[in-house]
Structure 1
Amino acid sequence: MGRVIARPAFLDETELPEILLKTARLQVLPFEDADFPLLLDLHSDPEVNRYHSPGPVPMAKEEARRRLNNYVQMHRQSGVSKWKLETLDGEFVGRAGFSWQQEPAGYELGYSLKRSAWGRGYATEIARELVRWFFEETDHDHLLAYAVSENLASLRVMQKAGMRLWLEMEKHDLPCTFYRVDRTEFENLSNQQRV
């Protein structure tokens, strides 16, 4: 899987933090086994899955369970995973976080929102915060994000999160556009915003 990140300081072996990060309107928490109905409901909407595997169909229960198990396991092992995304009042609106990609190699920022959460700016809000969190809490030198090339809304989110166009290639037999941000670029942008 490449270079393993340093285990984030906030992560204790015996106790997982309840809230990993907050924005003005959103909070991110680790998934738990009991969250299966939430994840299944999210991916039961064909429109939510349009640009994700399995495509514009409801996700099978077995696949949703496999993904949830992976999210829980990855969080426990490394502190980096796809996490539960809620409003500050606890309403589940989707998932967001990171997963390791083999080709091209690196952690990928990803999110999936319930249709009722679309058009509110949540994707941009959480993507920006996840980029910040990634570079402040891990020692990786770059972060990737990609979307099916026709998914212009997601490509705009990546741009607004401070990522730059990097690569076009097929992924899962679909033309995809990749964005990337390096640690140096992130630090330069952060310094400019403070001035």
Structure 2
Amino acid sequence: MIKHVFLTGAPGVGKTTLVQKACEALLSSSVGVEGFYTEEVRERGRRVGFDVVTVTGERGHLSRIRDGAAASHGRREYTVGQYVVDLPSFENLALPLFRNVGAADGGSRKVFIIDEIGKMELFSQSFIRAVRQTLDSSSYTILGTIPIPKGKPLGLVEEVRSRGDVKVFAVSKENRDTILQDILAALQESLKHAA
């Protein structure tokens, strides 16, 4: 039985856009939605980093391009390519979203958005624990995104990909405009079985 739905695909193919469209459709059909997206931050047409944005619109830094003048002030610095990950900012915004996961509310099942489980987010051990707890929760269906396998496998990503209760949709330029209904159908099926 499918419990969670994840999207995978090349960077920039439209995974986050599909998650946002699915979220809008769920909210308009009165399904409870919580969680966060990852959005590009651009300045003068150039990508300078990523922000975490909650479903309710709160925003915080996830990463920024390394600024030569910025020193790490003795803190451990987490980097992915040219980006320096702002772990405290990410954890301060994302981790509180998971606080209700352990509590059984006896109400209807909710959809929890996790966009994305990627290299930057996986520097946080607390995030990894929270995702695992949500995957095992009986009150949440996750709609999330994971990167396509490339280079060294990411432990939690491979764990998600290999779970029997996870349906993974591969998003491509060819199907991104037509796959939304399939994603919503899988989510509705998951929510129906949970009810």
The higher radius of gyration belongs to 2
Q: What TM-score does the superposition give when structure 1 sets the normalisation length? A: 0.32
Task: Flag the structure with more relative contact order, 1 or 2, with Cα contacts below 8 A and sequence separation at least 6.
Answer: 2
Q: TM-score, normalised by structure 2?
A: 0.32
